[in-house]
Each structure stands twice: as C-alpha cells, then as structure tokens.
Chains A and B, each alone.
Chain A
Amino acid sequence: MQRHLISAADLTRDDAVLILDTAEEMARVADRPIKKLPTLRGRTVVNLFFEDSTRTRISFEAAEKRLSADVINFTAKGSSVSKGESLKDTAQTLEAMGVDAVVIRHGASGAPYRLANSGWIDAAVINAGDGTHQHPTQALLDAFTMRRRLVGRDTGLGKDLSGRRITIVGDVLHSRVARSNVDLLHTLGAEVTLVAPPTLVPVGVETWPCEVSYDLDSTLPKSDAVMMLRVQRERMNAAFFPTEREYSRRYGLDGERMAKMPEHAIVMHPGPMVRGMEITAEVADSDRCTVVEQVANGVSIRMAVLYLLLGGNEPAVPNARTNEEK
C-alpha cells in the first residue's frame, strides 16, 4: 500500500482486494456489542473539510472513532478560505499539532495531491473527494457493495469483480464518483459502461478503460449493477440538457426500466438522491437498491483504509483472522 490514498487509480488489484477483505473484517465489528477497536489509539486524524459534506464527514468520523483515533474536525467552509495559500497554512498548522492523518475534502481538483506531494506536511493524506477529480473511498465502498451482492459476503473474500458488467449513468462530466469507479472497477476486472447525454461526457473519455453509450435502455439488460449518479438541477440552466423532464425520460431510472435489468442486478446511488429526477421513489425504495447498505459499507471501508494506511503490523481485529480460513 502507498502512504496516501489520493486516487482510485493508484490502487493495484491486490491493494484493492486487500482493502475489501479488511473491510469485511471491520464490518464484523459492527455486529459486536462494543463496536470499537483499539487499533488507532493515540493517533490523531483530522477531517479537513473545505467543502460541505455531512454524510462523508460523519462516515469518516465514525470509522475513526471505531478505531479509537483522536478526531479533530476542521470545517473551512464559511471562513475566509478562498485564497489558495490557506490550504498550505492550514496544513502547516495541522503538521505543528502532530497529526497522523488528514482526511481532506476540497472543491479544487488536485488539492489532496498537492497536500500529499508539496512537502507541506508529513501526515498520511486520504482524499475524501476533490473537485471533479476523485473520491476513492466512495469507489471502494461501491465495489465492496457490489462484491457482497454479486459475489457473496464470504465467498467474495480474496476475489475481485472479474467479468461483472457495471453501468454508470448520469453526470459523468462533473462526477468524481464516476472517475473513481471507472478506475477501480477496471482494476478489479469489471466491464464498465458510462451512459449519459453527450453534453455530460468529458472530452477525452475515449482513453478511459470503459465503454460509453448514450442509450440507457439498450444497456440495462446487460448490466449486473446500475449506478445512478446525482444530477444537479443547475446543469439544466447551463444547457447541459433541455429540461428536467426530458432528462428523466431519457436517463432516469423508473420501475419500467428497472424491469429490463437481469433478475440479480442491483441499483446503486452514491446519495443523496434526487427522487424523481435521476431515480423514481419506486426504484429507490426497492430491495434491489443498495443505497442504505452503501452508507453502512462506507464506514467499514474507511476503517479499512485508515487501518491499512496508519495501522502498524498488528491485526486490525484481534483474533479475527485466525478464525477465518485465510
């Protein structure tokens, strides 16, 4: 494993599988009466959020606390953080406090990369979403969810997603989730198809390890998982598509469309969902929709990532591995 987690593209297949397997161990902790491990006792983790995201911050915070880390939340939104140098200033303040890891969310693509590679700090850097670039722990929790559902919770251990067909639908252009997922799912052996109106597909996508289609209906029957991306209504005003209704008609997932998917196929969404726009309530509430599991899995994945980046050689979960076959 590398010292930082900046991009899903930085993970090898073995790294990724190790994280998924470790997350399975972490998930078992959630089933215990005391959901806490001593693993990161005495280590300090900062959640450095320059951009609002209560969901992601709470998920990381829960993961950190379950690993017994000391947690500092730093929310820069609303303060005078507009000039770039403040990222460096903030980083150096954290460095002076002896922080071991920084979980950073930033509106600018590349900010976590700069933080990790500019010599400003020594701490491990975990990218919790940067601009329209990457959100690697989201991709990992999505892959974790797919592996559990499509391969199996126990039978999936040590395995990747070879041969599974994943369709990602919506605003690919502005989506760090799409970028991260394309990279990671490809590494894990899955076949990825992006579906979006041409205005929401980036110029240059032809070099990505995936297919691109503008037609959702023809893609659905060939999908083991369909991931719906959030579409912001503002995009309509910027002429990315004509009307919300037209978008829904062509790229929204409703019950009728869901019926075209294979029996076993699942519906995913990184949340928060805009019901009625990209997904209907009927689909969102069906048992094929994994949104709630994704949230729970997010904590396990983030525990695994924190443990693997920061943990020593101690087993993450005492006695857990000896009970397993591996």
Chain B
Amino acid sequence: MSKILIRGAKVLGGEPQDVLIDGEVIAEVGTGLSADGAQVVEATGKVLLPGLVDLHTHLREPGREDSETVLTGTRAAASGGYTAVFAMANTFPVADTAGVVEQVYRLGQEHGYCDVQPIGAVTVGLEGKKLAELGAMHESAAGVTVFSDDGKCVDDAVIMRRALEYVKAFGGVVAQHAQEPRLTEGAQMNEGVVSAELGLGGWPAVAEESIIARDVLLAEHVGSRVHICHLSTAGSVEIVRWAKSRGIAVTAEVTPHHLLLTDELVRTYNPVYKVNPPLRTERDVHALRTALADGTIDIVATDHAPHPHEDKDCEWAAAAMGMVGLETALSVVQETMVDTGLLDWAGVADRMSVKPAQIGQATGHGRPVSAGEPANLTLVDTEYRGQVDPAGFASRSRNTPYEGRRLPGRVTHTWLRGKATLVDGKLT
C-alpha cells in the first residue's frame, strides 16, 4: 500500500487538516480527504511538521562503531523525527576525502532511515594546516556542500580565509567550531563563578566570541558564507546580530542543551554534563532563546555526540565531551521555546527543518507541507508528558543529560519520502 492518509493533524500547528501521501510525495492537503485505498493514521490533536533536518550530527562511523554507527545513528534520528542529518567529519579516518564521504553517504542510503549528508573536513586530518580536497568531496556521489573541522577550530586565519573563498566555487559553506585554542588550553567547563569554585579549567566565552568576530569579518571581506556551529554565549549572539545587520552572510546554530542547561549542573562533577562548547550561565541561556526566537540564531542543531558508557563513567577531567541529542531535541525545543511562548510550531519547523535544509542545501528536505512536495514528515504528540528513559534509545550510546527528567512532546511518526521509518513511536 503506497497511500497514507494522515487525518486531522495540525499542520505546522495550525488548523487540523488531512494530508494524503501517495508514493514518495504529498498528493493532497485539505479537509475531509477520502481514505479510499489509503492506510489511515489518526492524528487528531497532533502537530505535523516537515521532517526535521540536523545540520550537526556525529555518527562515529567509520572508526568508533562502539559509540554509534550510521545505522544506529539514523535510527535515533528517525526516532527523533529527523529525515536528514549532516554527519560531522571527525571520524577515523577523518572524512577528508571523496572515498570516506561516499562511504558514509552510501550507508545512509542503504539503511534507509534518514538521509545522511556527509560534512567534509576543511583541512587534512582536521589538523588545520592544509586544505582537504574540498572540490573532490563536492563532486563525489556524496555531493558535499558543508565543510567543518568540528571538534577543532580552524584557528589559522589564513586557512580559514582560503577555505571560505575556495568553497564559493560550488556554493559551499564552512561551519566553524569557534574555539580559540590558546584561550581554552586545559579547559573543562565554562569559565566563571562555578569553575572558580570547582577548580576546573575555564573555557571563557571570549574564546568563542573572538573567533566568531574574526570569521564574520573574514566572510565579509571575501564575500563568502560562514556558519557558526553550536553558538553558546550571549556575547556571540551580539556579534552575529551585528554581522547580520551589516549584511554579512552568516548563519548560526544553537543546540537544545544550550537552550536548557547551565553550568550549575557541573557541580555534580557528572561527566554527562561535559560538552564542548561547555554549558554556560542562565543569562546565556536566555540570550540564546531570545536570539533563536528573533532569528539571529537561524537553526537548532543537536551536536549529537554519542560516547560509550566507560568514556563517561569516570572522573570529569578524563571524560569525553559531548551528549546525545537526536531523540530528545524536539522535546527540549518544545519545553524551552514553544511552551514558553517564544516560538510557535511554524517557527519550530523553520528552525529545525526549513533553515537547516537551506543552509546545507538539502533539496527535498525542509519543504512546505503541500501537494507535490516530497513526503518527508514528522508527527508530534505535543500533549505527551513523560520521563526520558535512555534504555529505550535507538542510539548506541546513552550519554543523555535528561535521564529521568520530564520533557514534553513525543514524535510518534516519521516518514522519509513516503516510507514510514517510525510508527506509533516504534522504528520500522
């Protein structure tokens, strides 16, 4: 059966409508659509969104399949309502050649849970010294358009300038992990009141802000597009706001955890809260929410960073940085942005699907929910309230900061080009 009728869903949070999927596309949107020959999904009270797009996912394959694989990561993505994810380049080997990006791309296609768009490394081995073969990665079957040394900052101003210039040839974008390396030597957490007390090495806001300031100026100078990964401070927001007002082609992302959690949690010394950039202060959290609402920050990206238990079950300094996020992202956004009145569901669709697809040029994703469009869709039970139970995660890793926490909302269905990947909260 190739026809599916989604009945009575609030499309983008609006009035209830029926959505008829036929094959890979949306055939019709309206009220009182005929269920003739279609499998019916009762969606009364639920919100229908375009399939979510994550511009910042760590799938770990190749190299760290004990943390995550393309299969487990894309299953986690489908569980979280995603139909496309951009896979970061910091794998082993690093995704700095056409061969590696094609492998990751093909695995995504084969498994079929979610489109995987590999991100290519900016520099060979993420070493920041020599440009990787950006053009070859773009021309490969993977069609890479986003480049990032994420995990590391492209800190050499000349290399950054060249990368920004070079990718203009094929409309690419450089996604910067903004972290001045000298200012963050030995950094373990946000530098401030809490780090002073705990005696943990500080990661100062200015280490992020100074790189963002430099990069928007470089982007302006060479007329290129730059994307700021996981922006985390109030000061960064101000710089991006200024750059946009000046017409600089900058886009920025914020993670769900930076919208919700603060560095006060580090007092537990529980490495589940260890992440890069670090959790910041209440003031930063509010600035980030406001900036996401007013569009200064363009998108939410998960920075889904799976790690095996043993890499977190240790003392803080020895622990790996990062947390998983694909399966909880929408709930955190609902709690911090929707339930607070900062963003409506159309706004969520924009920040979590439309804009990330545009930035990453994932044509076919982030499209309107209307006839003729690819049937990439996510159905959300926004009334659901429940505790996060990592035991049920599809991700191979369980390093979530939300274990036992009550979060609103739950993705019940995900369709990738008309094929259900998630039905009633269960992966197909």
- A residues in contact (CB < 8 Å) with B: 83-85, 87-88, 106-111, 113-114, 117-118, 130-134, 176, 179, 202-208
Q: Which A residues are CB-close (under 8 A) to B191?
A: 203-204
Q: Do residues A204 and B195 form an inter-chain contact, with CB atoms below 8 A?
A: yes
Q: Do residues B313 and A179 form an inter-chain contact, with CB atoms below 8 A?
A: no
Sample of 18 A–B contacts (CB below 8 Å): A84-B319, A85-B318, A108-B316, A110-B198, A111-B315, A111-B316, A114-B269, A133-B199, A134-B199, A176-B199, A179-B197, A202-B195, A202-B196, A203-B202, A204-B192, A204-B194, A204-B195, A204-B196
Chain A residue at minimal CB-CB distance from B310: A85
Q: Which B residues are CB-close (under 8 A) to A117?
A: 268-269
Interface residues on B, range: 20 to 34
Complex CA gap A118/B314 in Å reads 9
Complex CA gap A108/B199 in Å reads 9
Chain A residue at minimal CB-CB distance from B191: A203
Would you give the shortest CB distance from B300 to chain A, in whole angstroms?
29
In the complex, which of the residues A85, A130, A205 contacts B314, with contact meaning CB atoms closer than 8 Å?
A: A85
Which residues 280-331 of B have a CB within 8 angstroms of A?
Answer: 310-311, 313-319
Q: Do residues A84 and B314 form an inter-chain contact, with CB atoms below 8 A?
A: yes
Would you give the shortest CB distance from A97 to chain B, in whole angstroms?
21
The 9 lowest CB-CB distance pairs between A and B, nearest first, are: A84-B318, A84-B314, A204-B196, A133-B199, A108-B317, A110-B269, A132-B199, A202-B196, A204-B193
Whether, in the assembled complex, B200 has its beta carbon less than 8 Å from a beta carbon of chain A, the answer is yes
Chain B residue at minimal CB-CB distance from A179: B199
Would you give the shortest CB distance from A321 to chain B, in whole angstroms?
37
Chain B residue at minimal CB-CB distance from A173: B196
Whether, in the assembled complex, B204 has its beta carbon less than 8 Å from a beta carbon of chain A, the answer is yes
Q: Do residues B315 and A84 form an inter-chain contact, with CB atoms below 8 A?
A: yes
Q: Do residues A110 and B196 form an inter-chain contact, with CB atoms below 8 A?
A: no
Would you give the shortest CB distance from A272 to chain B, in whole angstroms?
21
Q: Do residues B315 and A114 form an inter-chain contact, with CB atoms below 8 A?
A: yes
Q: Which B residues are CB-close (under 8 A) to A88?
A: 313-314
Complex CA gap A299/B160 in Å reads 57
Q: Which A residues are CB-close (under 8 A) to B202?
A: 202-204
Q: Which A residues are CB-close (under 8 A) to B310?
A: 85
Q: Which A residues are CB-close (under 8 A) to B317?
A: 84, 107-111, 131
Would you give the shortest CB distance from B206 to chain A, in whole angstroms?
10
Complex CA gap A317/B46 in Å reads 71
Would you give the shortest CB distance from B210 to chain A, in whole angstroms?
15
Q: Given A202-B202, A203-B202, A203-B204, decide whether A110 and B315 contact each other with a Cβ distance below 8 A.
A: yes
Q: Do residues A87 and B192 form an inter-chain contact, with CB atoms below 8 A?
A: no
Complex CA gap A111/B191 in Å reads 19
Q: Do residues B200 and A131 form an inter-chain contact, with CB atoms below 8 A?
A: yes
Given A84-B311, A130-B199, A202-B196, output 17 extra A-B contacts at Cβ < 8 Å: A85-B314, A88-B313, A108-B316, A109-B317, A110-B315, A111-B315, A111-B317, A114-B314, A117-B268, A117-B269, A131-B317, A132-B200, A202-B202, A204-B196, A204-B197, A204-B202, A207-B196
